[in-house]
């Protein structure tokens, strides 16, 4: 779904998908989860893969929380003000 939206199949964000930090984080999270699954299922002792997952996790974990916090504290109230 993320890939479809990034390629422009989603009309609302067509062409502007990569502008938002939310989607940057979503893509990184999808990559992390995919790599983590591959690492656990197929290559449990693959050190570069493990290091990549580790690095991605270090980025995605705080970034996703930051995105959620900033959205509900800054973006969502400003959108509500605009709508009304």
Partner 1 sequence: MHGSNAVIMLLDLAVARYPLYLKHFWQPLLYVFLYVLFNGLYVAAGGTDSYGNHHIYEVLNYKPLGNSLILLALVLFVFLPLIFAGQLGWVRLFVRLSPGTLPDHPARPPTSHPHLRQLLAPAAARRQHAHLVACLIGIIYDPVVAGEEGAELANGGLGHRGGGRRGIGWRSEAVIEGREREGEKGAKGGWQAIHQHNGSGWCKKRTWACMQVELRGRHRKRRHTRGDVFDTWKERQGRALG
Q: How far is the CB of 23 from partner 1 (least distance, A)?
A: 9
C-beta separation of 60 from 26 below 8 A:
no
20 binds partner 1, rule: CB under 8 A: yes
Q: Which residue's structure tokens are 């979503």?
A: 26
What DSSP letter does each residue of 47-75 carry, written as one string? Answer: HHHHHHHHHHHHHHHHHHHHHHHHIIIII
Residues 35-74 that bind partner 1 (CB under 8 A): 36, 53-55, 57-72, 74
4 binds partner 1, rule: CB under 8 A: no
The one among 7, 16, 37, 46 contacting partner 1 by CB under 8 A: 16
């Amino acid at each position: 779904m993320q890939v479809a939206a990034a390629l422009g199949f989603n009309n609302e964000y067509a062409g502007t998908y990569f502008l938002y930090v939310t989607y940057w984080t979503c893509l990184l999270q999808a990559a992390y989860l995919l790599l983590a699954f591959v690492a656990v299922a197929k290559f449990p002792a693959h050190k570069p893969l493990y290091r990549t997952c580790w690095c991605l996790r270090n980025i995605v974990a705080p970034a996703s929380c930051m995105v959620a916090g900033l959205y509900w504290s800054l973006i969502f109230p400003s959108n509500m003000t605009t709508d009304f």
